[in-house]
Every structure is written in structure tokens, then in C-alpha cells.
Amino acid sequence: MTALKMLLRDWRGGELGVLFAALVIAVTIVSGISAFTTRLQNSLEQESHRFLAADRVVSSSSAVSDSWGEYALSQGLQVANTLSFPSMVYAGDEDMVLASVKAVSDNYPLRGELLRSDQPFAAPQAIAHGPAAGTVWIDSRLFALLDIDVGAQLTIGEADFSVTAAIRSEPDQGSSFLGFGPRVLMNYTDIPATEVVQVGSRVEYRLLLAGDAGALETTVEWLEPRLENGERLLDVASSQQSIGSALQRAEQFLLLAGSLGVVLAAVAIALGARRFSERHYDYVAIMKSLGATSGRIARLYGSSLLILGAAATLLGSLLGWSMQSLFFVLFGDALPVTPASSGPRPYLMGMFTALVCLASFAWPPLRRLGKISPLRVLRRDMPGMAQRTVQDYLVGLGAIILLMLWYSRDVNLTLAVLAGLACSALVAAGAATLLLRGGRLAGMRAGSIWRLALAGLQRRGAANTLQVVIFSMAIMLLLILVLVRTSLIEEWQTQLPEGTPNHFLINISPEQVNPVREALNRKAVLSQPLYPMVRGRVTHINGEALGRSDDPEEGRRERETNLTWSDAVPPNNEIIAGSWWDADSAQPLVSLEEGIADSMKIKVGDTVTYTVGARELSVTVASIRRLDWGSMQPNFFMVFPPAVLQGYPATFMTSFYLGGEEKQFLNQFIREFPTVTVIEMDVVVQQVRAIVSQVSAAIELVLGVILLAGALVLIAGVQASVDARLLESAILRALGAPRKLILGSLVIEFGVLGLFAGSLATLAAELSVYILQTQALDMSYQPSPLLWFLGPLVGITLIGGLGVWNCRRVISSPPLTVLREL
Amino acid sequence: MIKTENLLKRVEVAGGQLEILKGIDLEIKASESVAIVGASGSGKSTLLGLMAGLDEATDGKVWIDGVDLQQLDEDERALLRAEKVGFVFQSFQLLPSLTALENVMLPLELAGHSDAESRAAGFLARVELGERVTHYPSQLSGGEQQRVAIARAFAAEPVILFADEPTGNLDTETGAHIIDLLFEINREQGTTLVLVTHESRLADRCDRRVRLHAGALVEAQA
Ligand SMILES: Nc1ncnc2c1ncn2[C@@H]1O[C@H](COP(=O)(O)OP(=O)(O)O)[C@@H](O)[C@H]1O
Ligand SMILES: [Mg+2]
């Protein structure tokens, strides 16, 4: 008898179903989810490079040496150049506007795409390169400001250009859009003809580099010592906070779901293997009586497991691959990133998971088959083998912890789930022991359905306790996932609700504040308050002057920032140190954002000196705030009491929501307020929303697979008791018990088990979700009253339904079996 | 008491149909004891199962105490069994999770007796197991288990007792003792006995024997 033949026979006999399905699900979950997250991660990395329009950028206030670009080319990198400068642009004789001009070489952008439209504010289209020589693309609002149409002539310095399109977005616009005028995009080769760029003009040259990691590293190492004052190397920008945080949460959730799925599958594997081994007692006894040695039996079952594992790995990898491919095929177009490949690692992980599961959950019961006494052939009532040992449980527990840690790479998350599992197992075992085994009722109580059922529950006390533990753990894990998923999706929806501000207005002069507010009110757009803004620069901290630095992170402090004033803590801000000032305070105080305080190493109580315009201002740090970067609300690094900034030149800013069909309002608004700068963020907000909804879909998909694993555990748990019930019911029916008595008691028995398991699971789920959300996922916890109703109900229906369904043979087959040897 | 008419049992097997019983006509009177003998595989258990209403015939009729089993559904047959029929099986078929006493109480509870426990204890004493009431089947020897089964079979005082090779799993001596008990209680209660066996020594103690060969009755003797 070869292992393969035995497996095929068992497969036909339906003995392998649960074991094999559980293995396949474990592999599917692990390979599918990790392929999915790896691809998403890889593509996000690419995506963040797009926000630089390159992988690395050298930024300089003077022209960068040509030799740098040549060196990069010699290393096999792609190279592009840009130059940004402010300049007056003219249309005809009267109309002129101060614009932010950017000249780009032909291969710009190296990463990401430009968006342009044929007409101002029309539907944007992606394009891989900038304007041709002699032409320019200009900001939509510039058409209104200059009162021109596509095809008109535009003059920059000494050169004339023809306007061929509206530029809607650039991949690298994020870093420095504040404080500039409307965009004019031109070709790099046209710069000399304009004659506007002179030595000493306020310009930014950029050398864009892209290519493979090794070449980038070599080039960066070569470049770094050659950088001079005013030259900086830019790495991946972290400007895409909204997308980043949404995706990070989703990833954590998927890893959590994956870990729980693997735990569930492991339990199902253990149960399936146990039943498999029990059904092989006689077979092994006969083989041994015919002369098979223990070693031979062990080899037979060991190789069966390996074959089973290999088949499950193949099928599971295939399913996992299809699952994530299906997702990217369905939603890939809507994602702002091109999904990168995941490599073979996820599938190796799947294989490893299958091996660990087999070795630590399936092998222990099968290994003991070798110890079965051949005497069983003669005396069938002989106990089959030694019971499972403490060792088995320890091995299983160790394997679960290992898999979860290895898979989620998150200690807190693992601990939270383990705490929940331990709690549910302990409480379930305790309560079940008390209720099911205390005061054993005498007899079968076959007289009434209820008494029969309750007596049955008690008689099978030990087995039932194990079942309740397993059922409640499975239900708990499922409840955890549903709870976390719900609050995650709710959180996203509240973060970027319908009507999230998607346009910003800056450079509003104090005299324009009221007219702008009226104009926005007239249109009835949802707008935020108008925030004052004063441009200022930090010069000293605690009296110590800030030196110039080459470190790009430190470079941040040398730049001008926007200061604002407020009586109250701005909405969505959280004070994490110090305290807010009293309204009407005129004390020289400031409140700083957490990140900037960290990077400048400033604490509450430090003195910070600013240059605002030509004046100096020294203030004491009163508090540190944490901002919600995901919210798309105006955020300020530095806030002062109103009286302190009184008298400094201020402009105002605000944000508001404008639907796509209302974009024409902008034309009218710009004509009315030509000096106000409009920043359109609707494309970005749209992208974030799209990502959130797609990732939500991914989460639902994964949840579905995990639910399958949970159902499998329940089925395996129920099946464990089916054989005993079959025999019992056959005898009862032969002795004259009507079917409805047996069916009724089955329903009640499983219903009670389900009620038990459901209630315990609810308790444990609340506990773990509390730990998870407060410790691991950094979310706020809210108790879910609905759960206390839902959990037990789910328990009753699921366990009751599955139990009766799996035992249906008990009442559907004739009781004749009692006359035959079972 | 029991009557069968042209009783036929066919089952579907891999190669087509297998006729296990080929038209059995048999009549057993009240209080009569009848032995069904025949080679292994001749259809004895199948016939017993049909007469007890444990399975449905492909064709033909069975009456128990004047009731046509074909007219009854599964549950009505169960009620009839609870009321009138007792069983002793070759492999005992005690419930492993119940004590000896509880196993004997089972048919009493199904029949709705309120004094199940004391009656069961009485019957256990009758089969000389008064000391073993709290023992589980796994703690009893084969002979003791079969005695519990006999106590269970007679506890509800059935009018018919079906016994399928009751000594098949026991050694000769224990088997003889079991058979003595069975016939003793049978005589006391005046039960109709249908006994399947392949031991002629056993069959000899019955009023009558019928022989099955390949699913058909081949001879009947007084
Ligand atoms: N459900 C079934 N399917 C196929 N063959 C059956 C079935 N039930 C009984 N048989 C066959 O019918 C024959 C009679 O069986 P049985 O009544 O148990 O014989 P006995 O009790 O006389 O040994 C045997 O050959 C047995 O294999
Ligand atoms: Mg037989």
C-alpha cells in the first residue's frame, strides 16, 4: 500500500475533506494576502517616487554642473532637468500676471505623469512628457486671469510662446506650491531665448535621476561630497500622508486578518488530522497484525502528509495568486499606481506555512498511529491509543505564536490576539466544565426532547468542553475581524467624507476677507473659516543662531513657514504637551506641531526667535500639537495668540469643497479676485477616496476567505462528534425513539453549545478588539452593544445549523446499522 | 403475532442489483419461539431488520400484532418498537457513554415509564448484575455487556424479542449462560422470540426453526 494509493482511497471516502481544505485555505490566505500587500507596497514605493517625478533629485539655487548628469548617465540612470522661477507673463499689451514658470527637459517626468486638458478646467488627460519647444501649457486659472483661450500667444521675457493646453497637475508639484503664482510649463531648451534667468535670480534648478537601486546608490555616493551650499539631495517625499496612512492601516488589517486566518486554518487542520487518525485505527491495527512495523506505519502516514502538503501548497498558491490578481485586474485601473510584481516570496511563505501546520498540528495524532496495538483486531473495544498529550498542545501553541509573529511582524498585534484566544479558551473551558459537567443527571432522559438534549450535553461533557472552546475561539476571531473592519472603514469615511475640502485659497489680503467669504457663501460651497497667515522664518532657538546645513531634513527650518494666530485650539488638533493659552492672551507664546518641534529639538518652555518681514519676534513655546494629516484640512505648524501677530503683514487662506460639475465657478472667482491663488486638490482627494474604496473591497474579499476558514473550523469541530452521535441515534431509534425526538435534541444540544460559544466569543472579542485598537492599530475603541446580541445569535444559528446539517445522516438513514458491525 | 408475505429486499450494488431476500412468507404465532438459521450472508439479519421495521422492504408485507408495517412511516414504526419490541444484538450495542443502569433505563424512558430507574435496577439484579449498576460498558466483560443488553431488551416488557446471534461474540460457556437467561426471562414474560443463530444447539431450544439459503426459505420444521 503506497501513501498515494491510501490518500486517493481516503479522498474518495471523503475522509480527507476538512484536512485538505484547511491546508489549502491556510496556503491561500498566506500567499494571497502577502502577495497582495507586497505588490501594493512595491507599487506605493514607486508611487512615492512619482511625487518627486524621479527616484532622487538634486536641488540647487544655481545651475548644476553638466558633469553630474553625465556621470549619472554613465551609471545607466535616466536623467532630466527642470528649472523653476517666478516671472511676469504677458498676453497682448495690457494683461500680465506674476507666474511660476517651470522649464522641463524632454524626458521629464522620469516617474509619474503630467495631467493636462485641452481646455481650462476640462477633463484632464495623462501625458508622459512636457510641452514641445515653442509652446507652453498654462494653469487653468491663468486663462481667466489673462483673458485668453487655447492657441493665444504668451510672452515670457523676450520670447513668445503659443499656449497649447491647460496644465492640471505635475507629479512633483507637491513640494513647493505655496507662495507661487499660477503655473506656466515650458520646454527646457527655450530658456536662453527668454533671457529672464540671470545670475542671482531666485530660481531652483533640479537634476532628476531614476533607475535601478544599485546605480542610484553609486551615483548618490559620488554626488554627496560634491554638493555645495544651496544644493540638496531629495529623497522620497512623504507628502502623500493621506494615501500613506490609509494604506498602512489597510495593510495592518490584512496582516491581522491573515494571522487570524492562519490560526483558524491551523485549528481546522488539527481537528481534521485527529479525525483522520481516528478513522485509521482499525486499518493500522490490521496492517500491524499482518506484520507492518511501527516505523513502516510512520513512514506511510508521514509521506501521505507530505503529498497532501505539496498538493495543498500547489492549489493554495494558485488560489492565492488568482485572488490577488483578480483584485488587481478588477481595481488596478482605478488605483493611481501600477501594481508591481510580488516575486516568489509570498508563495514560499505559503509553502512554509503548510509545512509548519502539517508538522505541528497534523503530524502528532498521526505519529501515534504507529503505537496502536494490533490486539485491536481481536478486541475492537480496546482504547485506540494514548490521549493527546500536553506536549501536543505546547507544540501547537508554539507554532501558532511563531506563525503569527512571523507573518504579522507585529508583537502587539500578536499579543492582543493571543490574549483574546487565551481568555476565550480559559473562560470557555471553565464555564463549560461548570455548566456541562456539574451534577451529572442520571440516565438518557429519553422521555423528553429537552431532558434528552441536556443529559446529552452533560454526558459528552469533556468532548463538548473542547468543542465550546474551539467554537468560541473561531467565532471570536471572526467577530474581531468584522469589528475591526467596520471601525476601519467607518474611520476612513469620516476622515474623507463627501464634501471634504478639495480646493485651497491662499494669498487673500485682509481687505478681501469679507468679499471672498461673501463670494463663497453666494455659491453656497462648504468652506472652512478663513485663517490668517504671516510669513516668517525661525532664526534662533534659545538664543542660539541656526547655522546653514546641508542636511535636507534640517533645511526645512531655514525656509519660510506660515504662521497663524488663533484664540482656540484648531479643529482636529490634539495638545500632546504644555497647555493652550487663554483667549485674549497677549503673552509672547507659540504652539508648535509635533514633527517640526521634534526636528528642531524644541520643548515646551524653549524660546524661539523669528524674523517676520524685517522685524524680530521672540516667543516661548506654550504647547506642542499633533495634527491629523489625513484630514485634508488646512494645517499650521506654528500658531500664535492673535495679539502677538497683530501688526505684522498677513494674508488669509481657506479651503472649500467644489464638485466637478461646478468647476466653472473658479473662472468667475478668479476674475473677481485675480490676486488670490487657487490650489486644486480635487484630483488628489479623488485618488485617496478611490484608493480607500478599493482597499475596502480588498478587505471584504479577504474577510470572505477568512470566514471560510472559520466555517471550516466549525465544521471540523462538529464532525468530531458525528460518529459517536450516529451510533447513539441508531440505537435510540432501534429502541423506538421517534425522529423528531432525536432531531429536536440535536437542535437543542448544538443550539446550547452555540449560545455558549457565541456569548463567550463576544466577551473575548470585545477584549481583544479593545487591546488591538488601543495598542496595535492606534485607533479609538468603542464598545459595540450590537455585538452582545449578534454574537450569541451567530453562535446559535451557525453551530446549530452546521451541527444539525452534519448530523442529518443520523436521522435520514434507516436504523438498520445496529444490526451490522459498525 | 408476526406475519410476512412475499417479502422482498433488493439493494443497488456496483454491478447492478442484488436480491438479498427473494420473497419470504413466514408466520410466527404469539409466545412462539422461532430460530432463523442459515449460512453467513444468507440474509438472516436483513430479514430480522425488516420484521422489526428497522428498514423498508422493496416489496411484500410485514404485520406485527396485526399492524401492517408498510402503512406506517418511520416514526410510527419507532413508536411501535418502543411499545412492543425488544432487541439483543450480536455486538451488544450498548451506549458507551451510559452506565449499565442508564442503558437499561433507556427503553423504559422511551416508553414513558415514570419508575424507569427502579424497574431497570430490578432487571439488572435479575441478570445478576445488581452490583454493577454504575459501571460503564467499557468496564464490563463481553458476557456482562450482553447480560445488560438482555436486561435492556426485557425491561419494557416487549411482546416480541428479536435476537441477532446473541452469542456470536461470546465463548461457548458464557454463551450458554446468556442463552439460559434469555430463555428463562422469555418464558416468564411469555414473549414471542425471534432468534437468529447458526448454532443448532441454540436453535434446538426454540419451538420451531426456519432455514434461509441465499435469501429464500428452504425448509421449515416443527
Ligand atoms: N445495504 C447493503 N448493500 C449491499 N449488500 C448488502 C446490504 N445489506 C446486506 N447486504 C448483503 O446481503 C447479504 C445478506 O446479509 P445479512 O442479512 O447481513 O446476512 P446474515 O445476517 O445472514 O449473515 C450479504 O451478502 C450482505 O453482504
Ligand atoms: Mg447477520
Q: Is the CB of B20 under 6 A from ligand 1?
A: yes
Determine the pLDDT at residue B168.
82
DSSP-assigned letters across all residues of A294-351: HHHHHHHHHHHHHHHHHHHHHHHHHHHHHHHHHHHHHHTTTSSSPPPP--SHHHHHHH
Model confidence at B176: pLDDT above 80: yes
**Which H or E element spans position A3?**
helix A3-12
Query: Considering only A147-156, A372-381, A724-733, which range has the smallest mean pLDDT?
Result: A372-381
Task: Give residue A135's pLDDT.
Answer: 95
Chain A closest CA to B115's CA: distance in Å?
A: 12
Report d(CA A787, CA B75) in Å as an integer: 40
**CB of B4 closer than 6 angstroms to any ligand 1 atom:** no
Mean pLDDT of chain A: 79
Any A CB within 8 A of B138 CB: yes
Interior/surface letters A611-643, b for 16+ CB within 10 angstroms, e for the rest: ebeeeebebebbbbbebbbbbbbbbbbbbbbee
**Where does the pLDDT of residue A337 fall: very low under 50, low under 70, confident under 90, or very high at 90 and above?**
low
- Give the C-alpha separation, A128 to A137, whole Å: 14
Which residues of chain B does A727 touch, with a Cβ-Cβ cutoff of 8 Å? 95
Distance B46 CA to ligand 1 centre (A): 7
Cβ atoms of A90 and A154 within 8 Å: the answer is yes
pLDDT-derived band of residue B221, with 50, 70 and 90 as boundaries? Answer: low
pLDDT of B160 higher than 70:
yes
CB pairs under 8 A between A and B: 95
How far is A651 from A513, CA to CA, in rounded Å?
9
Q: What percent of chain A has pLDDT over 90?
A: 9
Least confidently predicted of A272-281, A297-306, A767-776, B153-162? A767-776
- CB < 8 Å from A in window 100-119 of B: 101-102, 105-107, 109-112, 116-117
Neighbours of ion ligand 2 (CB under 5 A): B 45
Kindly list the structural domains of chain B, giving each domain's residue range(s) and its CATH number in brackets, ordered by start. 31-56+72-221 (3.40.50.300)
Go through chain B and tell me how many residues it has: 222
Best mean pLDDT range from A117-126, A234-243, A806-815:
A117-126
* Among B11, B22, B44, B46, residue to substitute to test ligand 1 (most atoms within 8 Å of Cβ): B46
Model confidence pLDDT, tens digit, residues B73-98: 877 888 888 888 988 988 888 887 77
Cβ-defined contact of B106 to A735 (cutoff 8 Å) = yes
Q: What is the pLDDT of residue A162?
A: 94
pLDDT value of position A703 = 78
B122-132 pLDDT, tens digit each: 999 999 998 99
User: According to the model, what pLDDT value does residue A648 have?
Assistant: 84
pLDDT at residue A408 is higher than 90: no
Q: Is the CB of B197 under 6 A from ligand 1?
A: no
Q: Residue A176 pLDDT > 60, yes or no?
A: no
For the cut 70, the answer to whether the pLDDT of residue A377 exceeds it is no
CB A621 within 8 A of CB A592: yes
Grid coordinates given for A717: 469541530
Ligand 1: atom nearest CA of B196 is 21
Q: Using the 8-state DSSP alphabet, how is residue A774 labeled?
A: I
* pLDDT band, very low/low/confident/very high, at A170 (cuts 50, 70, 90): confident
| pLDDT at residue A296, as a whole number | 79
**Atom of ligand 1 at shortest range from CA of B48:** 17
Model confidence at B27, pLDDT cuts 50, 70, 90, reads very high
> What is the pLDDT at residue A557?
45
- Of residues A159, A141, A161, the one with CA closest to residue A151: A161
Cell reading at A41: 507596497
Give residue A105's pLDDT band: very low, low, confident or very high (50, 70, 90).
Answer: very high
Q: Is the CB of B46 under 6 A from ligand 1?
A: yes
Q: Which of A208-212, A543-547, B37-41 has the least mean pLDDT? A: A543-547
C-alpha B21 to ligand 1 mean position (Å): 9
Q: Does pLDDT of A555 surpass 90?
A: no
In the chain, the amino acid numbered A276 is: F
**Residue A621: band (very low, low, confident or very high) from pLDDT cuts 50, 70, 90:** very high
Atom of ligand 1 nearest to the CA of B38: 22
Nearest residue in chain B measured CA to CA from A817:
B54
Q: Average pLDDT of A236-251?
A: 58
What's the CA gap between A453 and A446, in Å, rounded?
A: 9
CB-count exposure of residue B165 (10 Å: 0-12, 13-18, 19+): buried
The per-residue b/e assignment along A200-220, b for 16 or more CB within 10 angstroms, e otherwise, is eeebbbbbbbbbeeebbeebb
The residue-averaged pLDDT of A116-130 equals 88
At residue B165, the 3 state secondary structure works out as coil
Tell me how far CA of residue A67 lies from CA of A63, A70, A225, A230, B150, in angstroms.
12, 5, 14, 18, 105
Between A241-255, A409-423, A805-819, the lowest mean confidence (pLDDT) is in A241-255
Tell me the shortest Cα–Cα distance from A363 to chain B, in angstroms: 28
- The average pLDDT across A164-184 equals 70
Distance CA A191, CA A189 (A): 6
**Amino acid, res. A365:** P
Q: How large is the average pLDDT for residues A46-56?
A: 69
Q: How many CB atoms lie within 10 A of CB A770?
A: 17
| Cβ contact, residue pair A443, B81, below 8 Å | no
Write the DSSP assignment of A354-374 as a string of letters.
Answer: HHHHIIIIIHHHHHGGGG--G
- Whether the per-residue pLDDT at A331 is higher than 60: the answer is yes
Does residue B41 line the site of ligand 1, with CB under 6 A? yes
Among A431, A439, A422, which residue's Cα sits nearest to residue A464?
A431
Question: Quick one: cell of A255?
Answer: 496582516
Residue-level pLDDT at B222:
46
Neighbour-count burial for A416-455, b at 16+ CB within 10 Å, e otherwise: bbbbbbebbbebbbebbeebbbeeeeebbbbbebebbbbb
More confident residue, A461 or B43: B43
Q: What is the pLDDT of residue A822?
A: 44
Predicted local distance difference test score (pLDDT) of residue A132:
93
Task: Tell me the average pLDDT across B186-207.
Answer: 89
Q: List chain A residues with CB under 8 Å of B138.
A: 381, 383
From chain A, the residues in CB contact with B101 under 8 A are: 442-443
Q: Ligand 1, atom 27: nearest CA belongs to which residue? A: B41
pLDDT at A795 over 80: yes
Contact A629, A242 (CB under 8 A): yes
Asked if pLDDT for residue A247 goes beyond 50, the answer is yes
The alpha carbon of residue A475 is apart from the nearest alpha carbon of chain B, in Å, by: 29
- Cα A600 from Cα A385, distance rounded (Å): 69
Does residue A594 register a pLDDT over 60? yes
Whole-angstrom distance, CA of residue A751 vs CA of residue A595: 55
User: What does the pLDDT average to over A788-817?
Assistant: 83
Task: Judge whether residue A158 has pLDDT over 80.
Answer: yes
B44 lines ligand 1 (CB under 6 A): yes
Angstroms from B181 CA to nearest CA on chain A? 21
Is pLDDT above 50 for A769?
Answer: yes
Of A383, A444, A816, the CB nearest to B102: A444
Confidence class for position A73, pLDDT limits 50, 70, 90: very high
Take atom 3 of ligand 1 and give the residue whose Cα is closest. Answer: B11
Q: What percent of chain A has pLDDT over 70?
A: 81
Most confident of A728-742, A808-822, B35-49: B35-49
Give the number of the atom of ligand 1 that is nearest the alpha carbon of residue A820: 18
B143/A633 Cα distance (integer angstroms): 86
Alpha-carbon distance A28 to A351, whole Å?
A: 10
Task: Name the residue of B12, B18, B44, B165 whose CB sits within 8 Å of the most ligand 1 atoms, as the mutation to test its pocket.
Answer: B18
The H or E element containing residue B25 is strand B16-28
Could you tell me if B91 lies within 8 Å of chain A, comparing CB atoms?
yes
**Is some CB atom of chain A closer than 8 A to the CB atom of B157?**
no
What's the confidence (pLDDT) of residue B53? 85
User: Is residue B48 within 6 Å of ligand 1 at its C-beta?
Assistant: no
**Whether residue B130 has its Cβ less than 6 Å from ligand 1:** no
CA distance A564 to A610: 13
pTM of the model: 0.64
Q: Is this prediction's ipTM beyond 0.90?
A: no
Q: What is the pLDDT, as a whole number, of residue A552?
A: 45
Q: What is the CA radius of gyration of chain A?
A: 35
pLDDT at B169 over 90: no
Which is it for strands A574-578 and A531-541: parallel, antiparallel or unpaired?
A: unpaired
Contacts of A789 (CB under 8 A, 6+ apart): none
> Which of B90, B96, B105 shows the shortest C-beta gap to A443?
B105
Residues B106, A446: C-beta atoms closer than 8 Å:
yes
Q: Which ligand is nearest to the CA of B43?
A: 1
In this predicted structure, the answer to whether residue A317 has a pLDDT above a threshold of 50 is yes
For chain A, the domains span 1-50+244-409, 52-235, 426-499+681-822, 528-656
Look at B45 and A724 and tell me if their CB atoms are within 8 Å: no
What is the reported pLDDT for A630?
Answer: 59
Dihedral class, residue A563 (left if φ above 0, else alpha if ψ from -120 to 50, else beta)? beta
Q: Is the separation of the CB atoms in A568 and A600 below 8 Å?
A: no
Assess whether the C-beta atom of B13 lies below 6 angstroms from ligand 1. yes
**Distance from the CA of A819 to the center of ligand 2, in angstroms?**
7
Pick the more confident residue, A416 or A681: A416
Q: How do residues A628-677 score in pLDDT, each as one tens digit?
A: 765 666 777 888 888 888 888 888 888 888 877 777 787 778 778 877 77
Q: For the segment A446-455, what is each residue's pLDDT rounded down to a tens digit?
A: 556 676 777 7
Separation of CA A585 and ligand 1 centre (Å): 100
| B91 C-alpha to ligand 1 centroid (Å) | 16
Closest residue in chain A to residue B161, using alpha carbons only:
A735
Report whether A231 contacts A58 (CB < 8 A).
yes
Side-chain half-sphere CA neighbours of A343 within 13 A: 7
Q: Which atom of ligand 1 is nearest to the CA of B13?
A: 4
pLDDT-above-90 percentage for chain B: 41
Q: Compute the distance between CA of residue A89 and CA of residue A152 in angstroms, rounded to an integer.
A: 13
Whole-number Å distance between alpha carbons of A485 and B5: 67
Residue A798, CB half-sphere, CA atoms under 13 Å: how many? 26
Please check the confidence at residue A137 and state whether its pLDDT lies above 90. Answer: yes
